Amino acid sequence: MNKGLDVAVVGGSAAGLLTAGILARAGRAVEVFERATRPDPIRRTLIVTDALRPLLGSAADEATVNEINRFELFADGRVATIELERPDLIVERARVVTALADSARAAGACISYGTRFLGLQGSNYGVGLALRPNGGEPRAIVSDVVVGADGANSKVARAAGWPPQPTVPLVQAIVEMPTGMAADTSRVWFRPDDTPYFYWLVPESDSRGALGVIGEDGATTRRRLDRFLEEHGFKALGYQGAVIPAYERWIPVREKVGSGEVYLVGDAAGQVKVSTVGGLVTGLKGAAAVADAILDGGSDRALTRLRRELNLHLLIRRAMHDFDQDDYCFVLDQLNDAAKRSLGTHDRDDASKILWSLLRNRPQLLLRGIRSLLLRSPVRR
């Protein structure tokens, strides 16, 4: 084995590249090993809060294709409109990854494409990695730290001893925007007979948008999406999909292997808000927290804050996961002007403020959730 790296990052995901960039700027020798043979990340339209901006800086602007100023919520004929105090961002995942790769390289990190991760081995000098370059012979290196950033079904996590995590399918279709629908408005439909999550339509522009759903089984989810498209008069121009971690409990992000350490970031660590199954912002927060822990010799203050936030979203998901149509109608009926202002003021990346605000303005909503937690089944996967 050849020694020469302070940090080896496996997976050129957004979380992995942010970690690499932070560590390289701090003077660490960092190399990212990405299985894809060229820098051509998979496209996917995402909606995120403006909490993305302090995490990415100018890269957030490079990735943003549209901004959302309001949500329209639908449940069995009920409609509620939420005006946002700060716009949500519609971003293209491929642009996020490309911008972070450019930033990591500019900081001094090396990115090796076409390199497959094979396994880990303990070493007296750190962590041994077995790698296979595309079309080449296997090679072995030793690094002080390995960061697993290789997605929900992380091979690094399995090699280091973490158990598999549950996942859910996300499927969305690129569609033409409905006539008369504002490009700064997103729609959400609650149809619990189809999914315990929801359908959404987010505009990329005034002419195109992404209409999607989160389900519990891939084939069933795709069929239900196609039926929904037909019912609402949409034609799919193309499809996008992903496998998303379904957060059930906090995953410790650090393990000792040999005399080195292995960390997990992003989807590999299940750092996803399970209330909405959104993971870009929380995954990047996890990446920044892991980079800080590596640089600070193991400090986990930022990871503790992220753990609290993800556990709060888990509580929300458990309260809502078995909601039926009457429950969602009740929720929309209870959204008076004060409750709508609260939802528009506090974004979903700060769930504690949303819950406290609703407790003051509409305690009936929280009581409904508590009743669901007490009387209904646990979250089913």
How does residue 203 score in pLDDT terms, banded at 50, 70 and 90?
very high
- With b meaning 16 or more CB within 10 Å and e meaning fewer, what string describes 306-343? bbebbebbbbbbbbbbbbeeebbbbbbebbeeebbebb
Q: How confident is the model at residue 3 (pLDDT cuts 50, 70, 90)?
A: low
Q: Is the pLDDT of residue 379 over 50?
A: no
Nearest to 30 by CA among 2, 14, 6, 1: 6
For residue 45, the one-letter residue type is T
Q: Is it the case that residue 36 has pLDDT exceeding 60?
A: yes
Residue 271 confidence (pLDDT) above 60: yes
Average pLDDT score over residue span 148-166: 96
Q: Say yes or no to pLDDT of 14 above 70.
A: yes
pLDDT (0 to 100) of residue 136? 85
Per-residue pLDDT of 165-187, as tens digits, reads 999 999 999 999 999 899 999 99
Q: In this model, does residue 11 exceed pLDDT 90?
A: yes
pLDDT in the model for residue 354: 74
What are the distances in angstroms from CA 335 to CA 78, 326, 342, 358, 365?
A: 11, 15, 10, 9, 9
pLDDT of 352 reads: 79
Pair 208, 201: CB distance under 8 Å: no
Q: With 80 as the cut, is the pLDDT of residue 373 above it?
A: no
Q: Residue by residue, what is the 3-state secondary structure of 137-165?
A: CCEEEEEEEEEECCCCCCHHHHHHCCCCC
Residue pLDDT, tens place only, 281-293: 999 999 999 999 9
Residue in 221, 287, 277, 214 with CA at minimum distance from that of residue 248: 277
CA distance linking residue 60 with residue 65, whole number of Å: 10
Q: What is the pLDDT of residue 216?
A: 87
CA torsion, ordered 209, 213, 217, 221, to nearest 10 deg: -70
Q: Who wins on pLDDT, 226 or 369?
A: 226
Domains and CATH numbers, the chain: 2-42+94-165+247-313 (3.50.50.60), 65-89+166-244 (3.30.9.10), 319-375 (no CATH)
pLDDT tens track for 332-364:
988 888 888 888 888 888 877 777 777 776 666
pLDDT of residue 364: 67
Identify the pLDDT of residue 299: 66
Count the residues in the chain: 381
Per-residue pLDDT at 81 exceeds 60: yes
d(CA 132, CA 134): 6
Task: Give mean pLDDT, residues 122-148.
Answer: 92
Q: Which amino acid is it at 357?
A: S
Looking at residue 298, the DSSP 8-state letter turns out to be S
Range in 55-69, 190-204, 209-223, 344-358 with the lowest mean pLDDT? 344-358
Largest CA distance in the chain: 65
Residue 380 pLDDT more than 50? no
Average pLDDT taken over every residue of the chain: 90
Of 235-244, 273-282, 301-310, 333-342, the least confident: 333-342
Summarised one tens digit per residue, pLDDT across range 239-249 is 999 999 999 99
